Amino acid sequence: MKRRTFALSLLAGAALPRPARATGGLDVGETVTPRTVRVLLASGDGFAEPQRLDSWRFGWNGRTYRGVFGTIVLEDGRRGLLNTVPLDAYLYGVLGAEISAGWPAAAQAAQAVAARTFALSKLRPQKSFDVVAGDADQHYGGIEAESVEGRDAVDSTSGRILTYDGVQAHVAFGACCGGRTADAGDVWGTPYPYLISKPDPNCAEAPDFAWRGEVPFDSIASRLDLEKIGQLRSVGLRPADGSGRPRALIFTGESGSTDVPTRAFRSAAGGAVVRSTFLREATLVAHGESVSVAGTGRGHGVGLCQWGAHAMAANGARPDEILAFYFPGTGFGQV
Ligand SMILES: [Zn+2]
């Protein structure tokens, strides 16, 4: 495993106040030149106007955020609300939003390194923002989402990122893999040697490990172009990819059959009902009016499994052991 310290060429900018320390205090006055992240908090025409609280905080939508705000015009012409904030101050708000304050310190630290690596991989100076606050990138809840434990994890790992072959790694994480992680190549079309599918015995006790959901056929038929098959007769699962996740569902109606990719089915039904693509069973219920699906895990399943990391940490694993399990072959770098 190669370990190399390297410097990233990051956003240059005016000297800004140092972000708060783990105690939550605001050390306004001491200046550094930090790495900054531009977080898109909202887009469209309907978002509330932020209120500047002091030189280093603002209020918006019932929350308080570190850093400064501004409005931008997005590539599609809509307005965007941007929060420009030093990297680790951003990560304070990510840690508390992604995992609970009560989780073991090693799980918090592993999440902090993964979140930092993810954020740095998203910096795109040529674009008008770097990351979206929410499911699309990382959850981020401002100061109200922060915890002492999360800030400690960010501070204790400051500058540390995951690398592969001496280069910053691409990382992903999700709530629960369902017992086997997914391969990035199967999910997003781009494989990485450390984002492979592997059994995960650690998350079996996760609250979302096994689930069942019911999807009314009418709620998805139009979006998935299923009206052409007529009255639904049966539904089933196509063969699985290498991680055990079925690639598609087959819907058979009185006028024919059609395949629906599992990700498209989940997207149409909603992630709250179909919690993952790791489907184990699909059957017709309610006299053919609904599809009942059973599955395991929550989320895409690639990379770090947060509930698995929680269990590993509770059993005494160190942060580097957790990261080595979910990103095999990676090492650490310092930015
Ligand atoms: Zn897992």
Q: Write phi, then psi, for 174 (nearest 5 degrees).
A: -155, 175
Structure tokens at 18: 């140092």
What's the whole-number average pLDDT of the chain? 90
Rounded to the nearest whole angstrom, what is the distance from the C-alpha of residue 66 to the centroid of ligand 1?
32
Task: Give residue 34's pLDDT.
Answer: 55
Least confident of 33-42, 116-125, 190-199, 302-311: 33-42
- Region of 44 (left: φ > 0; alpha: ψ -120 to 50; beta: rest) is left
- Ligand 1 centre to CA of 199 (Å) is 8
Residue pLDDT, tens place only, 252-295: 999 999 999 999 999 999 999 999 999 999 999 988 899 999 99
pLDDT (0 to 100) of residue 2? 35
204 alpha carbon to ligand 1 midpoint, in Å? Answer: 7
Count the neighbouring beta carbons within 10 Å of the beta carbon of residue 207. Answer: 10
Q: What is the DSSP string of 241-309?
A: -TTS-BSEEEEEETTEEEEEEHHHHHHHH-TTTS-BS-EEEEEEETTTTEEEEEEE-BB--BSEEHHHH
Cα 130 to averaged position of ligand 1 atoms, centre (Å): 28
Q: Where are the alpha helices (DSSP H) in the chain?
A: 87-98, 105-121, 142-145, 148-156, 184-188, 217-221, 262-269, 306-314, 319-326
- Spacing, Cα 108 to ligand 1 middle (Å): 16
CA 305 vs CA 6, 31, 298, 308: distances in Å: 27, 37, 9, 5
